[in-house]
Amino acid sequence: MTIERVVRANYPLSLLEVLVICSIDDNGTIAKAQQKVAQLRRKGVTNVNVAAFKNKPINKPHGLNVGLRHTHNEVVTIFDAEDDIHPDIFNVVNTVLLNEPVAVVQGGVQLMNYQSKWYSVLNVLEYFFWFKSRLHYHARLGMTPLGGNTVFFTREVLQRVGGWDEQDLTEDADIGIRISLLGERMRVIYDDRYVTREETPPTLSQFIKQRTRWSQGFLQTLLKGEWRRGVLHPGLADHDVHGENPGADGYHAGPAVLPAGGSLHPECDWALRIHLCPRAEADLEDAAGDGAGLPTLSVGAGLRLCASDAAAGARHQ
């Protein structure tokens, strides 16, 4: 389960803030999330909460704006309910944010079940080339339609851009375009060791429905013309969170999307051995566009928080 993977990641639990979100009428998911939160609290994990939004539109960008309003950490990220995240992804992104002047980091996503349907292998290859190649090209151009998960934002840039457009069918691509229009640099990283793993849609009809929505959303983003004007969306009015969860600023228990905020953690940066290497030798591709060299991240087996552990960490270089 994604919640469990997030809280068990190789990152200080005290620096993570997990909020699970869905609409208030999603009773089945709400019950499962409440059960998981109660289980974690019995184990002493108290930084996972759930929230439900009750007003329209009932969609993902609305939920993300709810999550943005009711979390507080410096960095905000998104995972979908079925995501299998790598336990070191927070360390990788933490290192990038501490060492590069960027406000957004897009991590890799890879589909895994290439043999399940006749179209699955094509879907897997599409994701592979989109995250490993195409997004790097967009980042170099300075106009990046972001992915829908494993994307990390500074809270400041989300507030500047006004959050997600709740009317856009591809809110992820749209917010990427709008942040690009602010002149913000973005970092796209793809390393197959640290990708988030997902599965292709289970049926052809669901696959077609997904792609129809994406195509309509891309056209919607294009026709809005914000790529010419840079108009921001005021998606942050605090008006529709139903309250019930103790210690969580009065919002209701219930899940669906998982925005997990994390504070920058300088103490753990040294454990991620960073060096510049020639382009041909790079394990982690560059999207900063400076052409100076490619940072390769080598992540140790655990999180080391103090300099006295440096010798133990050296063997992971």
Using N-to-C axis directions, what is the helix angle for 171-181 and 60-69, rounded to 10°?
Answer: 60
* Residues of the chain falling short of pLDDT 70: 229-317
H/E stretch holding 270 reads: none
3-state class (DSSP) for residue 44: coil
Q: Looking at residue 270, what is its pLDDT?
A: 38
Which pair of structure tokens corresponds to residue 53?
């939004």
| pLDDT tens string 136-189 | 999 998 899 999 999 999 999 999 999 999 999 999 999 999 999 999 999 999
H/E stretch holding 58 reads: none
Supply angle C-alpha 141, 143, 144, rounded to 5: 110
Q: Looking at residue 267, what is its pLDDT?
A: 53
224-236 b/e with 16+ CB inside 10 Å = b?
bebeeeeeebebe
| pLDDT tens string 243-266 | 334 333 333 322 223 444 566 666
Domains and CATH numbers, the chain: 2-314 (3.90.550.10)
Structure pTM?
Answer: 0.75
Using N-to-C axis directions, what is the helix angle for 171-181 and 204-224, rounded to 10°?
Answer: 30
Q: Looking at residue 1, what is its pLDDT?
A: 74
